[in-house]
Amino acid sequence: MAYGDFVCTSANDGTHYFRPITARAEVFWKENNFTQKYVIDNTEDYYIVKSVNSEIICDEIRKNNMDFTS
């Protein structure tokens, strides 16, 4: 079973939901100010961003040797 640092899912409504699931992912999210830069709403577990910004976030996550899980 593969493990990742984030869960990312599409709501098929022009948004993506991100959830950091490791401590380093949470620190990375906060240090990069993604909440202030990209988050348009949130739920108890997920940060909601516009799909157009999800590629930027995903690229930054991968550049920092982190990955996704389902």
Residue 1 has pLDDT above 60, yes or no: no
Q: What is the pLDDT of residues 7-43, one digit of tens each?
A: 999 989 999 999 999 999 999 999 999 999 999 999 9
Of residues 11 and 46, more confidence is placed in 46
Q: Which residues constitute the domain of residue 32?
A: 6-69
Count of domains observed in the chain = 1
In a domain, 64, yes or no: yes
Of residues 31 and 2, more confidence is placed in 31
Average pLDDT for 64-69? 94
In a domain, 30, yes or no: yes
Average pLDDT for 42-63? 95
| Closest to 69 (Cα-Cα) out of 29, 20, 31 | 20
Using DSSP's 3-state secondary structure scheme, residue 39 falls into strand
In a domain, 55, yes or no: yes
In a domain, 1, yes or no: no
Q: Which two tokens stand for residue 25?
A: 């992912």
The answer to whether 16 and 49 are in contact (CB under 8 A) is: yes
In a domain, 56, yes or no: yes
